Amino acid sequence: LYLTATGLTAWKPSRAFRSLGVKLARCPPPEMLHDQMIRALIAHVVACAEPLGLTAEPVFSLHRGSGDVFRVMFRVDRKSGGCSQVPEAHACVGLCSDCSSCAGPFGEEQLFGEHTEPSCPSCSSSSSGRLRCWGPIWSGSLHSDAFLARLESQARQRGWIQAEPRE
């Protein structure tokens, strides 16, 4: 499956996150926005495949800044034996307002449960609202190294990749 999405972060990224099923205490900061959006997109596709008896796993993902284009190639398989073949890779993450460190991954119940407020692992700040969190997003790999190596090998065999010029 090859998925292309455009304009997710161009205007009101919080709306795009919510449409992908991400709960937000606050939108990720600009320097993390594109990585977190592609992870939200992957998590949404994986979650949609589950009730259909399918597994979806990203094998290649790309964000192109000009035009705000996200592209993800997935390997989609039928589940066998009733068990998922792809490890569960959904988590919530956060950013500390005090020290600006990334925190997580956290389980969804740790962040959005009734009586929990995780603390920052770097500065131990546990003041209410200091850890700005969002999720669940995909916490697994964005690429499959084995798949990309096979893809490169086939491209070389077909002459699509030229030898690098010598200096």
* Residue 44 banded pLDDT, cuts 50, 70, 90: very high
Average pLDDT, the chain: 81
Overall average pLDDT of the 99-112 stretch: 71
Q: What is the pTM of this model?
A: 0.77
Query: Rounded to 5 degrees, what are φ and ψ at 33?
Result: -60, -45
Question: For strand 69-78 and strand 2-6, is the pairing parallel, antiparallel, or unpaired?
Answer: antiparallel
* Helical (H) or strand (E) element with 89: none
